[in-house]
Structure 1
Amino acid sequence: MSDRPSFILFITDQHRADYLGCYGHPVVRTPHIDAMAARGTAFDRFYVASPVCMPNRASLMTGRMPSGHGVRFNGIPLSQRNVTFVELLRDAGYDTALIGKSHLQTFTGIAPVLTPPEARPGYHKAGGALREAVRHDFAAPLYHVEEPDFWSGEMPAVPVPFYGFDHVELVTGHGDHVGGDYTRWALARDPDLGGKMGAKNQLPHDYTCPQAVRTAIPPELYSTSYIAERACAWLKARRDGDRPFFLMVSWPDPHHPFNPPGAYWDMYDPADMPVPAAFTANDWTPPPHVAGVLGAREAGTANLQGMNAIGCTAREAQEAHALTCGMVSMIDDAVGRVQAALADSGRGERTVTIFTSDHGDHLGDHRLLFKGSEQYEQITRVPFVWADPQGEQGTRSDRLGQTLDIGATILERARIEQAWGMQGRDLLSEASAPEAVLIQYAHQARMDGLDVCPNIRTLRDARYRLSVFQGLGWGELYDLETDPAELRNLWDAPEAGPVKLRLLEQLMQAELAHAETAPAPVARA
């Protein structure tokens, strides 16, 4: 029997840290995830590498910042030139599986906003591999397996190994209108399921919140249930086995649209949800990028069906809050199912279970929904729970950590060396605890309130958050000890000048510390 532990990594999508019982949420019920925290350690200061799906998921897999792995923003696939920690587990003999969402590649099939410019009149412009400064093979079929065209016609299987996973059962998209391997499973159980998907087929309701969709899909056929069922089946097939495994169980929820199915829809009452502080603060002046988002909603120009941040009313915030709690509770029930299957498999005492998310959602804080160029705690801070049968139980950690550290911690526990150039730290070693974490954010299009495509660097230490915006004459600085709601920007406050200067220097040092070090040198010059 192997003396290396197995691992299950549960990961959700757009799930901020404070939307779990074990992280202090006053209403939501998450007994199974809370029980995991009671068996292990919950990290209270855990942050993303980037507060958006593709860059942060790429950082999870590679243990590197977006500036290193190349997925600077949504819309750039993770190049397979990058080594993932899952590949290192596989190389050491681990059985590896992904069930659920990947989002290491694009899954819309929609053309990008940002494209290279055409040649100026009279100028020659190279084509093909010389068109961009770095050669890539993103046109290859290998990088399009998450797009709709891959799944049209006869249902194919994801070619494996897929970024280190030998077994993949994929879910693509958000809400109840999702695809991938889930479609085949769902249609086998209800051939008419397509007529129940999406907002156009939703059940009647009286919610006014943008993207509140009362799905007609029953809970047992919803993607959360599919992922739990397939994870349970995978574990059952390894009952009493010897080979250590790494299983990633990845849910697309609670990402918007807000559409918990069945009884999860009205499990929570919006009236029971607190009104965010920005709706009652009389002296809050939104920074320019937030003011732009709020102004677009007031002017009626906001894209209410999109992915970027939008303004909202207090009632819409409460509705989004309640519906998100419903989706989170459904995920918690699914975690319980998988935990029971792990126990039945006989592998529980040798398996580390982990829970996290890829980023958060404003959910009404600062009068915003969804996510965007705003770097508030609500989208940068996520849960991280580590439950090791051989480790500490029922503890809290205030150690700063972030997504790129997850792979490093797993590899250290499995006694596997990281690849040269990986930047993650072992979260269980106080000797490697940083004084601050670096967060990188970019977007390929201009956003409301910004005259440029956002390119932002954020430093978060134990007390302050500083954000620098490229090409703009302002930034953000918040003291979260005295201003936990981040309502008073100290960027231009004279009394905060020394702190700002210190944090700017720390930010520069953090960027230097995360500079690319791969490939390793091949000789002395």
Structure 2
Amino acid sequence: MVRNVLFIMADQLRWDYLGCAGHPRLRTPNIDALAARGVRFTQAFVQGPVCGASRMSTYTGRYVSSHGSMWNFVPLSVGQKTLGAHLRPHGVRCAVVGKTHVEADLEGARRLALNTAKGEGLLAMEGGFEPFERDDGIWPPGFKVEGNRYCDYLRARGHGGDNPWHEHANSALGDDGELLSGWEMRWAGRPARVPAQDSETPYMTRRAMDFIAEQGERPWVLHLSYIKPHWPYVAPAPYHAMYGADDVLPAQRSEAEREDEHPVVQGFRQTEPSRSFSREEVRSTVIPTYMGLITQIDDELGRLFDFLRERGLDRETLIVFTSDHGDYLGDHWLGEKELFHDTIVKVPLIVVDPRAEADATRGTVCDELVESIDLVPTFLDALGLPGAPEWLEGRSLQPLLHGQAEAAPREAVFSENSYAFRDEVRLPSGQPVDACQMTMVRTRRWKYIDYQGLPPQLFDLAQDPGELEDLGRSEAHAGVRAEMAARLFAWLRARKRFPTIRHEDIEQWNRREVKAGIQIGHW
């Protein structure tokens, strides 16, 4: 029986930066053990290659074109139905500890006269999650942080100042006691000013335990959302020095990629993160700390999993571990995220189903194409709650967890973004803001990326798994591009267009008119 769901998300964690995913240097024994208890999906993809868009798709079970929150800080419409709204009518508490990146639709709330300070109005502004410990982090230098519980905790522990998040948890000290800002990657090898137990990852893990401990018999879904290993790349001791330059894998890139570049990719290569991560000095300094932050998450998850076992909750809790997107770290001469290489849009996904029906798949690897929008229908399925096919565009993973063959395996996955928010990209392209849409369709063999008004990109993943040769303008592949464009158009036609009415009600509509005596066109 599944009574609860523990939904864990790391921020900006690459799919290939786990021991169980084959990284030869990174130590993640607790996540590896989690995979040994469940199913590890090797072909899981997010629906947006930035935090906000990806998370809004994961929380709604809908593609970006359907929910409309295209990029970071784009409000999630109050008209969208999220995970919490599906759960609460059935008595399931749905809360968050950590980051969501949900931007409140304040204009929509004003229009509807919602009280956003409490009740349903507050939940709508929080993306449907009860904010048990909501904290998106990322407080810039010089910003005065007030009313933030983590910063208040740091002050209580003696780490004072207007912005202890920056000045202590995400900065180091120089040899003469000067502050070395974590926003400057050159200091990534220095330890954070706080001891490990006061850094963000352990703090949020303890808060997750606090939430779980107070639930009693009430079923719950907890979204434990770590902000790391997302930048600033700062780790506390001993994690800052666990790995060194010798542990850094070579960048996946080629000189040929920079010849005759696609204009959008060329624009992203001009951004500061890309120029920095194109230098080996930067990679050898930053990546060891990135790896240390991942091992810290793994250590904290070990404590959390022990906590669940001690209380017998592991036998009735579905556990999911995933990420919202990856990190280029210099691959393809790029930094950060936002484009559609597998480095970014493919993410780790491990699911542990405690029921006996899942025993046959424990410790297995699933290579089926799956998407992050599949998680909401999976949670509803596991909890025995009714689905909402009029809203949800994902599909439950439960058949795969229970070793059942899918009736119609997914043939392609999709992801969307806009470069309208990046002047270095949009201005040289000459495109207006509303024509900067980028859409990826990826099958097992081909990856096709459509750009409005610009040439597409195409990669043959069978011959070129590293995505180093763009075939978007190859005459020999015109037929493949046409086929992939048709697949994209068919996907756009299939979006959920009637989310506020159940399919059963649509099927009964005409019969209800007749029964009510409505006679349209009667002679």
TM-score (norm. length: structure 1): 0.82
Report the Cα distance in structure 1 between the residues aligned to 2:102 and 2:47, rounded to whole angstroms: 15
Contact preservation (8 Å) 2:172, 2:187 = no
**Segment drifting more, 508-517 vs 21-30:** 508-517
TM-aligned CA deviation for residue 191 of structure 1 = 4.8
Contact preservation (8 Å) 1:30, 1:329 = yes
Question: What are the Cα deviations for residues 14-49 of structure 1, in whole angstroms up to 9, with x where unaligned?
Answer: 112111111111211111111111100000110001
1:35 corresponds in structure 2 to 33
Decide which of 222, 229, 233 is 2:206's aligned counterpart. Answer: 229
TM-aligned CA deviation for residue 504 of structure 1 = 1.2
Contact preservation (8 Å) 1:43, 1:383 = yes
TM-aligned CA deviation for residue 283 of structure 1 = 8.5
Instruction: Name the CA shift for 1:27/1:447 in 2 (closer, same or farther; >3 Å).
Output: farther
Decide which of 125, 128, 150 is 1:182's aligned counterpart. Answer: 150
> What is the one-letter code of the residue matched to 2:371?
Q
TM-aligned CA deviation for residue 484 of structure 1 = 1.5
Decide which of 491, 506, 523 is 1:510's aligned counterpart. Answer: 491
2:517 corresponds in structure 1 to none
Q: Does residue 415 in structure 1 map to residue 375 in structure 2?
A: no
SS of aligned partner of 1:49: coil
Identify, as 1 or 2, the structure richer in helix. Answer: 2
TM-aligned CA deviation for residue 309 of structure 1 = 8.3
Decide which of 307, 322, 337 is 2:303's aligned counterpart. Answer: 337
Q: Does residue 168 in structure 1 map to residue 132 in structure 2?
A: yes
TM-aligned CA deviation for residue 176 of structure 1 = 9.6
Question: What are the Cα deviations for residues 275-328 of structure 1, in whole angstroms up to 9, with x where unaligned?
Answer: 21325769865432233333x3xxxxx445xxx886521232233322211111
SS of aligned partner of 2:480: helix
Residue ranges of structure 1 left out of the alignment (5+ in a row): 110-128, 130-134, 146-157, 297-301
Decide which of 416, 431, 435 is 2:411's aligned counterpart. Answer: 435
TM-aligned CA deviation for residue 140 of structure 1 = 8.0
Contact preservation (8 Å) 1:175, 1:259 = no
Report the Cα distance in structure 2 between the residues aligned to 1:245 and 1:395, rounded to whole angstroms: 27
**Segment drifting more, 87-96 vs 246-255:** 87-96
Report the Cα distance in structure 2 between the residues aligned to 1:211 and 1:81, rounded to whole angstroms: 44
Structure 2 counterparts to residues 93-492 of structure 1, below 5 A:
93-105=91-103, 137=110, 159=122, 162-166=126-130, 168-174=132-138, 180-192=148-160, 197-198=165-166, 201-204=171-174, 209=185, 212=188, 214=190, 215-238=192-215, 241-278=216-253, 286-294=261-269, 296=270, 302-303=271-272, 312-372=278-338, 374-390=339-355, 391=358, 392-419=361-388, 420-429=390-399, 430-450=406-426, 451=429, 452=431, 453=433, 454-472=436-454, 474-492=455-473
TM-aligned CA deviation for residue 447 of structure 1 = 4.1
**Segment drifting more, 161-170 vs 63-72:** 161-170
> What is the one-letter code of the residue matched to 1:346?
G
Contact preservation (8 Å) 2:78, 2:109 = no
Report the Cα distance in structure 1 between the residues aligned to 2:385 and 2:85, rounded to whole angstroms: 11
Report the Cα distance in structure 2 between the residues aligned to 1:21 and 1:411, rounded to whole angstroms: 30
1:150 corresponds in structure 2 to none
Report the Cα distance in structure 2 between the residues aligned to 1:375 and 1:143, rounded to whole angstroms: 36
Contact preservation (8 Å) 1:186, 1:193 = no
TM-aligned CA deviation for residue 479 of structure 1 = 1.1
TM-aligned CA deviation for residue 165 of structure 1 = 3.2
1:69 corresponds in structure 2 to 67
Contact preservation (8 Å) 2:393, 2:496 = no
**Segment drifting more, 37-46 vs 434-443:** 434-443
> What is the one-letter code of the residue matched to 2:133?
E
> What is the one-letter code of the residue matched to 2:280?
A
SS of aligned partner of 1:495: helix
Contact preservation (8 Å) 2:41, 2:366 = yes
TM-aligned CA deviation for residue 63 of structure 1 = 0.7
SS of aligned partner of 1:27: coil
Contact preservation (8 Å) 1:13, 1:252 = yes
TM-aligned CA deviation for residue 167 of structure 1 = 5.3
Q: Relative contact order, CA 8 A, sep 6+: which one is greater? A: 1
Report the Cα distance in structure 2 between the residues aligned to 1:324 and 1:176, rounded to whole angstroms: 20
TM-aligned CA deviation for residue 271 of structure 1 = 2.8
TM-aligned CA deviation for residue 437 of structure 1 = 0.9
TM-score (norm. length: structure 2): 0.82
Contact preservation (8 Å) 2:139, 2:165 = no
**Segment drifting more, 215-224 vs 250-259:** 215-224
Contact preservation (8 Å) 1:13, 1:357 = yes
Contact preservation (8 Å) 1:274, 1:318 = no
SS of aligned partner of 1:383: strand
TM-aligned CA deviation for residue 506 of structure 1 = 0.9
Instruction: Name the CA shift for 1:428/1:464 in 2 (closer, same or farther; >3 Å).
Output: farther
Instruction: Name the CA shift for 1:503/1:201 in 2 (closer, same or farther; >3 Å).
Output: closer
> What is the one-letter code of the residue matched to 2:345?
T
TM-aligned CA deviation for residue 515 of structure 1 = 4.4
**Segment drifting more, 355-364 vs 92-101:** 92-101
Report the Cα distance in structure 2 between the residues aligned to 1:309 and 1:433, rounded to whole angstroms: 40
SS of aligned partner of 1:500: helix
Report the Cα distance in structure 2 between the residues aligned to 1:136 and 1:194, rounded to whole angstroms: 31
Instruction: Name the CA shift for 1:514/1:60 in 2 (closer, same or farther; >3 Å).
Output: same
TM-aligned CA deviation for residue 333 of structure 1 = 1.0
Report the Cα distance in structure 1 between the residues aligned to 2:111 and 2:326, rounded to whole angstroms: 28
Report the Cα distance in structure 1 between the residues aligned to 2:272 and 2:258, rounded to whole angstroms: 28
Contact preservation (8 Å) 1:77, 1:105 = yes
Residue ranges of structure 2 left out of the alignment (5+ in a row): 400-405, 511-519
> What is the one-letter code of the residue matched to 1:314?
E
Report the Cα distance in structure 2 between the residues aligned to 1:144 and 1:479, rounded to whole angstroms: 51
> What is the one-letter code of the residue matched to 1:14?
Q
Instruction: Name the CA shift for 1:198/1:166 in 2 (closer, same or farther; >3 Å).
Output: closer
Aligned Cα root-mean-square deviation (Å)? 3.1
> What is the one-letter code of the residue matched to 2:452?
Q
Report the Cα distance in structure 2 between the residues aligned to 1:285 and 1:192, rounded to whole angstroms: 51
1:299 corresponds in structure 2 to none
SS of aligned partner of 2:407: helix
Report the Cα distance in structure 2 between the residues aligned to 1:166 and 1:446, rounded to whole angstroms: 33
> What is the one-letter code of the residue matched to 2:136?
T
Question: What are the Cα deviations for residues 247-285 of structure 1, in whole angstroms up to 9, with x where unaligned?
Answer: 111011111121112211111102321221325769865
Instruction: Name the CA shift for 1:70/1:62 in 2 (closer, same or farther; >3 Å).
Output: same
Report the Cα distance in structure 2 between the residues aligned to 1:359 and 1:193, rounded to whole angstroms: 32
Instruction: Name the CA shift for 1:167/1:487 in 2 (closer, same or farther; >3 Å).
Output: closer
